[in-house]
Structure 1
Amino acid sequence: MYAIGRDTATQKLRQKARTINALLVRELMVRFGHGNIGFMWLVGEPLILTIGVMGMWTLLYGEQKHGVKIMPLVLTGYSTLTLFRHIIGSYVNCFRANAGLLFHRTVRPVDTIIARGLLETIGVLIAFFVAYVPMRLLGYFDPIYDYSLLLSAWFLFCFGISGFGMIVACICQISETAERFVQPMLYLAIPATGSFFMVAWLPETAQKIVLLSPLVHCNEMFRAGYFGPSVATSWNGWYVVTWALVNNAIAWTLVKRTQRHIEIS
């Protein structure tokens, strides 16, 4: 009986993996077309913006700010900001845009969300390394101090933002009016991400305020993995883990309730 149950669970996991893989491929085709250049644009869009912002900040502030090199500071900060905006932005109309796929018995609303989240997570991470490697070879960037910490921060950030994005998607599915407020709120939330400053630069009172934001902890953790002890960072890994788990617990509960509001077209 135990072996049969284990085989059934394995089959379900394989089926779910095939479903999400198919949704990933479909999402790529819908977004970028059937040409080989399509996948390149998944990486190219955030890469072009990141390089543009790095160049602009270098012109404005020079090579360093408060003893931190400007180019890697912008690369680390703008990469997480791009992921934040892309995941939430792509989740907003996800249920409505993919309602027709729910005719398939194996496709669930949350599968479409997971596919989009994976696409954005992988695409922006590749863009980060595509920008980093040439700069490292040319000597503009120092080597990454701790890959395990850097990648842990990245995927924790993705996991937490994905949960928050699902909550936003559920609200927008129930109320179309809410969708109009998403983009303005994303811009207003930029200071709360910690993308363009270090906590150590701020006065003590301001530090306590900004560290209430889990996004700031994620950015500081990501930069701790990149810079190492040469740059002062302030973050709490358990705070980030708790925030990510709470976000996803709320999100998955809401997704189950929101399914009844999805009209299959």
Structure 2
Amino acid sequence: MRGYLDRIRLKMRVINALFIRELMARFGHSNLGFLWQVLEPLVLALGVMASWSLIYGERNHGVRVIPLVLTGYTYLTLWRHMTARLSNSFRQASGLLFHRSVKPIDILIARGMLESIGVLMAFFAAYIPLALLGIIDPVDDYLVLLGAWALICFLTFGVALIITGVTHLSETIERFVQPVMYLILPLTGVFYMVYWLPPAAREVVVLSPLVQACEMYRAGLFGHAMPTFWDPWYILLWGIGANAIGWVLVLKAQKHIEME
């Protein structure tokens, strides 16, 4: 038992060291550093919020536009950044594998943690001043909001593992990843609320765990003011499945990593 705990502590130290290294490698020791990890999605989200407000006004289908865009765009930012950062990990950080304690999955976990924390901080960096100004209503249920974010990160990490594995095993598949990512954007739910849709379309889109995760995330912010459709167990089961498949693919792909 003691040896098992020692291995867990070692693994945690390795991931923490990789997290700090990734932070320093990406943002450096000077200038804005990690703050840019927060500012980058924040600036983009504020730009989209301003554009949507000009187009739709204060509300769209009875929903305030700014919180709708804020939740949707932070979700979309995590989805895009997580999959993009992880898919290139083996090529960019293969030299780290010369260290006996470092495994490929450790690099992926460290990068996933950085994206998850950074985008969540960007959400609150935008939410707090907007809430203080009365532009956004206070969060209705932090437990639901943060629980949804944990499920979103878990599910997105699993999808990113799958993409990482298959793209490393096949360059042909890699060329189709970005087009497919754009094609499945309607299945993320970031641009709409499910209750806006006709009943027939609603029954289809709620089959997507990405849509349900987005609905749960918004439920934490809006509460019962807006109808939402989500089941945390459904999202969790999809996340477990995605991570299990991704883990197998990563284990297979790591045998083909070329050391630099």
Shorter-chain TM-score tier? over 0.9
Query: Aligned-pair distance for 1:212?
Result: 1.5
**Equivalent residue number for residue 29 of structure 2:** 34
**8 Å contact from structure 1 (residues 200, 207) kept in 2:** yes
- The 5 A counterparts of 1:102-121 are 102-121=97-116
Q: TM-score, normalised by structure 1?
A: 0.96
Residue 143 of structure 2 corresponds to residue 142 of structure 1: no
1:129-176, Cα deviation, whole Å (9 max, x unpaired): 000000001110110000001111111011011011001001111112
Residue 56 of structure 2 corresponds to residue 46 of structure 1: no
**Equivalent residue number for residue 165 of structure 1:** 160
Which of 178, 181, 199 is residue 204 of structure 1 equivalent to?
199
Residue 218 of structure 2 corresponds to residue 228 of structure 1: no
1:22-52, Cα deviation, whole Å (9 max, x unpaired): 1111111221122151111110110001000
Q: Tell me how many residue pairs correspond in the alignment.
A: 260
- The 5 A counterparts of 1:29-108 are 29-108=24-103
* 170-179 or 79-88, which deviates more: 170-179
Distance 1:16 1:188 in 2: 37
Residue 181 of structure 2 corresponds to residue 186 of structure 1: yes
* 41-50 or 29-38, which deviates more: 29-38
**8 Å contact from structure 1 (residues 199, 207) kept in 2:** yes
* 55-64 or 18-27, which deviates more: 18-27
* 250-259 or 74-83, which deviates more: 250-259
Report the RMSD for the aligned CA atoms in angstroms: 1.0
**Equivalent residue number for residue 240 of structure 2:** 245
The amino acid of 1:226's aligned partner reads: L
Q: TM-score, normalised by structure 2?
A: 0.97
The amino acid of 1:11's aligned partner reads: D
Secondary structure of the residue aligned to 1:216 is helix
**Equivalent residue number for residue 9 of structure 2:** 14
The amino acid of 1:158's aligned partner reads: C
Q: Which sections of structure 1, spanning at least 5 residues, go unmatched?
A: none
Distance 2:177 2:50 in 1: 28
Identity of aligned residues (%): 54
Q: Which runs of structure 1 show a deviation greater than 3 angstroms over 4 or more consecutive aligned residues? A: none
Secondary structure of the residue aligned to 2:102 is coil
